[in-house]
Amino acid sequence: MKNNRTTWPKDVIARYVTMGGATVEVKADKSTDGHASGSCDGCGHRIAWGRAVHVCRDAHRHAETCRAMSRWTAS
């Protein structure tokens, strides 16, 4: 399934595509180096703020099993 979100915002450090075609984005925390949080634009799952390496791992794990389709629409 094709995901139409091709442009990454500056604060996005990682992006994972779910089984349903939604995107799990990991966003850097500008106030604390090496930390981030994430969210799925399909099911709304949130990945808590923490060390970026752990947030990326959790985002990847979520993307592997989430079957939600993206709720994002082009404007």
Q: Are 57 and 69 within 8 A, CB to CB?
A: no
pTM of the entire structure?
Answer: 0.83
- Please tell me the predicted confidence (pLDDT) of residue 5: 59
Q: Which two three-digit tokens encode residue 53? A: 């390496």
pLDDT-derived band of residue 71, with 50, 70 and 90 as boundaries?
confident
Provide the 10 A C-beta neighbour count for residue 55.
Answer: 23
Token digits of residue 50? 């923490």
The domain locations on the chain are: 12-65
> For the segment 38-62, what is each residue's pLDDT rounded down to a tens digit?
999 999 999 999 999 999 999 999 9
Of 13 and 8, the structure prediction assigns the larger pLDDT to 13
User: What mean pLDDT value characterizes the chain?
Assistant: 89
Q: Which residues contact 52 (CB under 8 A, 6 or more apart)?
A: 13, 26, 28, 34, 35, 36
Q: What is the pLDDT of residue 64?
A: 96
The SS3 of residue 16 is strand
